[in-house]
Amino acid sequence: MTELHRLSPDARRALRSDLERRYHDFQARGLSLDMTRGKPCAEQLDLSVDMLTCVDANHYTAADGSDCRNYGGLDGIPEAKVLFAQYLEVAPEEVIIGGASSLNMMHDAILSAMVYGAAEGYEPWGRRQVKFLCPSPGYDRHFAICERLGIEMIPVEMGDDGPDMDAVERLAAADEGVVGIWCVPCYSNPTGIVYGDEVVDRLAAMPTAAPDFRIYWDNAYAVHHLTDNPTPLKNILTACKAASHPDRPLIFGSTSKVTFAGAGLAMMAGSVANTTRRKAEMSIQTIGPDKLNQLRHVRFLRDMDGIRAQMRKHAAILKPKFDAVDEILTRELAGKGVASWTKPKGGYFVSLDTLDGCAKEVIARAAKAGVRLTPAGSTYPYKRDPRDRNIRIAPSFPPLEDIVPAMELLAICVQLVSLERLMG
Amino acid sequence: MTELHRLSPDARRALRSDLERRYHDFQARGLSLDMTRGKPCAEQLDLSVDMLTCVDANHYTAADGSDCRNYGGLDGIPEAKVLFAQYLEVAPEEVIIGGASSLNMMHDAILSAMVYGAAEGYEPWGRRQVKFLCPSPGYDRHFAICERLGIEMIPVEMGDDGPDMDAVERLAAADEGVVGIWCVPCYSNPTGIVYGDEVVDRLAAMPTAAPDFRIYWDNAYAVHHLTDNPTPLKNILTACKAASHPDRPLIFGSTSKVTFAGAGLAMMAGSVANTTRRKAEMSIQTIGPDKLNQLRHVRFLRDMDGIRAQMRKHAAILKPKFDAVDEILTRELAGKGVASWTKPKGGYFVSLDTLDGCAKEVIARAAKAGVRLTPAGSTYPYKRDPRDRNIRIAPSFPPLEDIVPAMELLAICVQLVSLERLMG
């Protein structure tokens, strides 16, 4: 395959004309495909239908004898704490089981730090201009929380094994205003990379100017592997304890993509000091989360082996979709020097980089032919992709027969826009 | 019955000696009874067991065709909004269906006002010393939110048809720092009174120094009647609209005591301006609440007739317990001039007032004989009952056979402590 910028003017014109013909063919098909949302497909949700009825008139009592239908239990029924402590690789007393939304737990933890301080005796973040380090591309909803709370976001470049740690260390050490970092450490949203051991160790050990610096460790895809030999992620809490920063990480997880996206379990973990503080806040905020849904999860998933078996079923549905994305992008774009994309071993996204300054136009062009992609810039703080090149592809929800034309069209648009840029 | 302060010294001594004998008999029985928590009993929870399995492999789709198992839907599935708009007597676009906890919705609404302001263009409450009017005795968890957020609480006396409105109007008009009032308007916690029409109208119409004054209208017991001819509560939103203060009330409700206390539906209502603002906040905080539990509720309760039928079943369980409380208190204490108590027509509590300065000692004395009552002061801001006389009785959870001895013991303790006070 020849890189497009090496093509002769004639070859460029011929290619462009061919691509335009294919593009118009797509337009004529009147497609209406949505590749924007990282949500499970119906077939995946079907994997958990037995969970709907496993708590019934004869099964509503938790291991400690408490009636899950009634009030009580702020931080989770015992069996849910045991199972999801294993899931997050912490001790049961280091985990809090919440409601259905881990985003809500993250939001509330940050808002609490803004209003009351991140730890006892520290100034609330809301009293000064605080900043978060934002490995980018990253998760738009993380960035939306910071933007809403007026937390200044400092983008940090993402590499193949995590954020640029030289930059992270420099920024955290230099500025007392830098109080946090967002991390999706396993199958990062959207690049799909897994943080390397050295990155984890450096995050745990680095000196920070802010004594109350926090790592928001959103381990959303902890068990969401597409391969049989997943890359293990180093335990951040253990690493932070070893580095004498036990209160640095706040770990989040959920079963939104294990059982039901709209009715999963959210969880949070951290040092006993951190969980104790959060529980004190939560005791003011609520009487407690839905324990019946906790019981449903434990009865349905049973144990870590049950969770792993469930995730293999998810992988069997998802892998062909991820494979299709890669096959089509490879067939259409490989060697042409106009795009690179990730080949994640888990998670929910493929991240594609175009030539600089092309992403917005590519996405607009695809939309005009009936394929919706996540808006350009979404994966960056303030929705500003400084190089206008990142496109997040979410293959989980659409059926395979939609993914194929959507990716073909995307590849056509990438080439068309790139050619136009190259031809001036 | 002779009032105790009119008894001769000999009669007092005789009575005291008799009460002491009865008290010691109770102690000898080794009771361990809990009258503290306003939570449903197992028999009440059994009324809703069919709800556990009414969403199943064949029923998980909302009226708008959306899959309740998946992401999506920030403010509730359409059929839940329709039903619970009727429940709260508002329009569907004026209601937001949340997760399992209405306390959480109240907390978040106040915290949002503290951080972002109660409405667009208003200064966040957190930037100055704000105050809430707190009709007292009232709900301890309301007061706990204010205390945690540093909102100064101003107690206002409760009457038979609501708070002392002369005081409320005076305080709200005089002080720009007064930004809110807590109300449990129907079967108020703990006195069980229902706000009269005039109280509702005055709350709606009163001038307030704070332009962003809010009524936190916790209508927790909207349908929780113990009689067949319930006192209707005037609609606060309608009244506020009529008084040209459409954004003044924030209305809250839940099914915690309709279906499952630990897994009900919480809801919030108000003007479209208020719900729009809250939804914008919520869109940052969460992807959405558990829609399967919303669907369960609508499939199980069906409509307002279904809710009313369900509440009649609750009343059949609760009424004998409330009757027993009143019968025993009447038998033991009527005419003795040492206590008065409420005879609520709904809700979850009976409120008993002792002579001034006796409540703490009565509760301590009961505890020593094995009956736990809500700690004295709990029903007042900062847990300070200025007259140390209010005792909250929660008859719903214990079985009838526990309520009888618990109330007898309470009555004995009230008389003993009163006699000691009278005898000096």
| Tens-digit pLDDT profile for residues B384-416 | 999 999 999 999 999 999 999 999 999 999 999
> Do residues B318 and B337 share a domain?
yes
Distance separating alpha carbons of residues A8 and A14, to the nearest angstrom? 10
Q: Can you spell out the DSSP letters for A296-354? A: HHHHHH-SHHHHHHHHHHHHHHHHHHHHHHHHHHHHHHTTSSSEEE---SBSS-EEEEE
Q: Is the pLDDT of residue B117 over 90?
A: yes
Mean pLDDT of A4-26: 95
Same domain, A335 and A297: no
Residue in B53, B260, B265, B295 to test binding to A, most A beta-carbons within 10 Å: B260
The residue among A103, A260, A278 with the most chain B CBs within 10 A of its CB, best to mutate, is A260
Residue-averaged pLDDT of chain A: 97
Compare B36 and B131 and report the one with higher pLDDT.
Answer: B131
A405 in the same domain as A349: yes
- Answer whether residue A272 is part of any domain: yes
Are A262 and B292 inside 8 Å of each other by CB? yes
Contact between B354 and B417 under an 8 Å Cβ cutoff? The reply is yes
Residue B93 clears pLDDT 80, i.e. is over it: yes
Region of residue A377 (left: phi > 0; alpha: psi -120 to 50; beta: else): left
- Choose the closest CB to B111 out of A39, A52, A111: A111
pLDDT for A382 equals: 98
Q: What is the Cβ-side half-sphere exposure of residue B73, based on CA atoms within 13 angstroms?
A: 30
Predicted structure pTM score = 0.97
Note the pLDDT tens digit of each residue in B367-389.
Answer: 999 999 999 999 999 999 999 99
Contact between A145 and A304 (Cβ < 8 Å)? no
Residue A286 and residue A334 in one domain: no
Report the gap between the CA of A414 and the closest CA in chain B (Å).
30
Are the Cβ atoms of B293 and A290 closer than 8 angstroms?
A: yes
Tell me, what's the pLDDT at B16?
95
Among residues A318, A402, A301, which one has the least CA distance to residue A26?
A402
CA dist B226 and B316 (Å) reads: 8
Residues A286 and A272 placed together within one structural domain of the fold: yes
Note whether residue A70 is domain-resident. Answer: yes
Of B302, B322, B353, the residue at which a domain comes to its end is B302
Res B198 pLDDT > 90: yes
Residue A289 lies in a domain: yes
Cβ burial A279-296 (10 Å sphere, 16+ → b, else e) = eebbebbbbbbbbbbbbb
Residue of B nearest to A74 (CA): B262
Q: Are residues B270 and B293 in the same domain?
A: yes
CATH code, domain carrying B273: 3.40.640.10
Asked if B257 and B146 sit in the same domain, the reply is yes
A71: chain B residues, CB-CB within 8 Å: 37, 39, 256, 261-262
Q: Which amino acid appears at position B326 of this protein?
A: D
Structure tokens, A235? 């335990």
Tell me, yes or no, whether B51 lies in a domain: no
* Distance separating alpha carbons of residues A63 and A82, to the nearest angstrom: 11
CB B152 within 8 A of CB B179: no
Domain for residue A237, yes or no? yes
pLDDT value, residue B374: 94
Q: Give the whole-angstrom CA distance, residue A261 versus residue B70.
A: 5
**A43 chain-B contacts, CB cut-off 8 A:** none
Say how far apart CA B106 and CA A139 lie, in whole Å.
Answer: 28
At residue A338, the pLDDT reads 97
What rounded mean pLDDT belongs to chain B?
Answer: 97
**pLDDT, position A52:** 98
Whether residue B1 is predicted with pLDDT greater than 80 in this model: the reply is no
A121 and A243 in a single domain? The answer is yes
Tens digit of pLDDT for each residue in B261-308?
999 999 999 999 999 999 999 999 999 999 999 999 999 999 999 999
**Are residues A277 and A166 both part of a single domain?**
yes
Last-in-domain residue among A239, A273, A302: A302
B137-148 confidence digits (pLDDT tens):
999 999 999 999
Enclosing domain of residue B155: 61-302
User: Looking at beta carbons, which residues of chain B come within 8 Å of A141?
Assistant: 284, 287
Q: Which of B262, B68, B279 is nearest to A264 (CA)?
A: B68
Q: What is the pLDDT of residue A106?
A: 98
Question: Looking at CA atoms only, how far is residue B337 from chain A in angstroms?
Answer: 37
Nearest by CB to A262, from B108, B126, B290: name it. Answer: B290
pLDDT at position A1 over 80: no
Residue A335 inside a domain? The answer is yes
Residue type, A25: D
Q: Is residue A119 part of a domain?
A: yes
Which H or E element spans position A68?
none
pLDDT of residue B273: 97
Q: Which residues from chain A sit within 8 angstroms of residue B151, using beta carbons?
A: none
The pLDDT value given to residue A67: 97
Question: How far is the C-alpha of B124 from the C-alpha of A123, rounded, in Å?
Answer: 19
Residue A393 lies in a domain: yes
Q: Do B145 and A287 touch (CB under 8 A)?
A: no
Residue B203 has pLDDT above 80, yes or no: yes
What's the domain count of chain B?
Answer: 2
Cβ–Cβ gap A71/B37 under 8 Å: yes
Does residue B266 sit in the same domain as residue B360?
Answer: no
State whether B240 and B362 are in the same domain.
no
Residues A218-263 have pLDDT tens digits of 999 999 999 998 989 999 999 999 999 999 999 999 999 999 999 9
Distance from CA of B74 to the nearest CA of A (A): 10
Quick check: A53 and B53 CB within 8 A? yes
The closest CB to that of B262, out of A37, A72, A144, belongs to A72
Same domain, residue pair B345 and B216: no
Spell B268-304 as b/e; 16+ CB within 10 A means b. bbbbeebbebbeebbebbbbbbbbbbbbbbbebbeee
- Closest CA–CA distance from residue A53 to any residue of chain B (Å): 5
Query: What's the pLDDT score for residue B423?
Result: 84
pLDDT at A424: 74
What average pLDDT score do residues A290-312 get?
98
Across the interface, of B42, B70, B284, the residue whose CB is closest to A40 is B70
Task: Indicate the residue among A237, A267, A302 that finishes a domain.
Answer: A302
Q: List the single best residue of B54, B143, B284 to mutate versus A (max A Cβ within 10 A).
A: B284
Nearest-Cα residue of chain A relative to residue B56: A52
With a CB cutoff of 8 Å and minimum separation 6, the contacts of B314 are B40, B44, B47, B224, B257, B258
DSSP β-bridge partners for residue A225: A346
| pLDDT single digits (tens) A54-105 | 999 999 999 999 999 999 999 999 999 999 999 999 999 999 999 999 999 9
Q: How many CB pairs under 8 A join A and B?
A: 165
Chain B residues in contact with A189 (beta carbon < 8 A): none
| CATH at B40 | 3.90.1150.10
- pLDDT tens for each residue of A107-165: 999 999 999 999 999 999 999 999 999 999 999 999 999 999 999 999 999 999 999 99
CB contact under 8 A, B99 and A126: no
CA–CA dist A204, B132 (Å, integer): 43
pLDDT above 90: residue A423 = no
Q: What is the strand order of the sheet B249-254 is part of?
A: B95-97, B266-269, B249-254, B214-218, B178-183, B131-136, B152-159, B162-163
For B223-233, what is each residue's pLDDT tens digit?
999 999 898 99
pLDDT tens, position by position, A332-391: 999 999 999 999 999 999 999 999 999 999 999 999 999 999 999 999 999 999 999 999
Contact (CB<8Å) B261/A68: no
